[in-house]
Amino acid sequence: MSTLTARQQNFVDDVVSGMSFTDAYRKNYDCSRMLAVTVNRKGAELAKIPHIAEEMARLRAEASERAVRTVADVTNEFLRVAFADPGKIVQHRRLNCRYCFGVNHAYQWKNEAEFNRAVQVWEIDEQARREAKGKKQRPAPMPTDEGGYGFAFNLSPHPACPACLGEGHADVFVADTTKLSPEDRRLIERVKVTKDGIEIRFRNQQDALTKAGQMLGGFKSTVILQNPDGTPIAQAPNVVNLTPDEAAAAYRAWIEGKE
């Protein structure tokens, strides 16, 4: 494996500690004259250099081995999974519609080029309608740019929008996992690209909480049978490893038999 320069080693250490490629590159290299897109590209390119990628993989493997060593470490790992916030990874959002922020709530276009394409499509459709024989079709209204330009898809709905009534439309957002902290990433079991989109499988948080509780002894219960006067029953030879319900039933049977 090739020797890393001091900056490359610092870059690797920062990435392994949870920093994104872009932020790690910006921290360790002079980016004062670079555009953000350039910094992002250079960070990704640096991370793909074979000996740098190998060093990151090696350090991550060592960190993984150190992470789980004792029963306490395992318990803490279960607790971290149990209390991680899935909302930092996947979010259901309500986003603005095209009429929310248009001038006088008219349809708003991203830019003039998008509007011009819409006009061209309308002209083609209008020509086809006119040439159709024996068919009376109502012409579609020609697009206008009365609502102006500058539509941004990720804004919240305008509460006074007459088109969507302030509801906007539903959207599912998946965070960039390279920018998540190690604490948040541990909740992800698998990320898969399917024909229907991105599929994220989370670790079972309820199962993790149950296992943590078991390791901490939180689910151990001791059932003590008592006499009506509150004193413990001295002997109960037929009662072994009873559940609380079984113990209650046995107690009732013992009392009824005694009476």
Residue 238 has what pLDDT? 46
What lies within 8 Å, CB to CB, of 37 at 6+ separation is none
**Which has the minimum average pLDDT: 76-80, 107-111, 128-132, 195-199?**
128-132
Q: What whole-number distance in Å separates Cα of residue 13 and Cα of residue 24?
A: 9
Q: Identify the DSSP state of 101.
A: S
In a 10 Å sphere around its CB, with 0-12 CB exposed, 13-18 middle and 19+ buried, how is residue 129 labelled? Answer: middle
| Nearest Cα residue to 215 out of 74, 36, 116, 11 | 74
Mean of pLDDT over the chain: 83
In tens, the pLDDT along 25-81 reads 999 999 999 999 999 999 999 999 999 999 999 998 887 776 656 667 778 888 888
Domain ranges, ordered by start, for the chain: 1-67, 70-89+175-213, 95-171, 221-258
In tens, the pLDDT along 132-157 reads 765 566 778 899 999 999 999 999 99
Helix spans in the chain (H) = 6-16, 21-28, 36-48, 50-67, 71-83, 112-131, 182-185, 205-215, 244-258
Spatial contact of 50 and 59, defined as CB atoms under 8 Å apart? no
Provide the percentage of residues in the chain whose pLDDT is more than 90.
45
Q: What is the SS3 assignment for 23?
A: helix
Q: Confidence class of residue 219 from pLDDT cuts 50, 70 and 90? A: low
Residue 239 has what pLDDT? 42
pTM for the full predicted model: 0.50
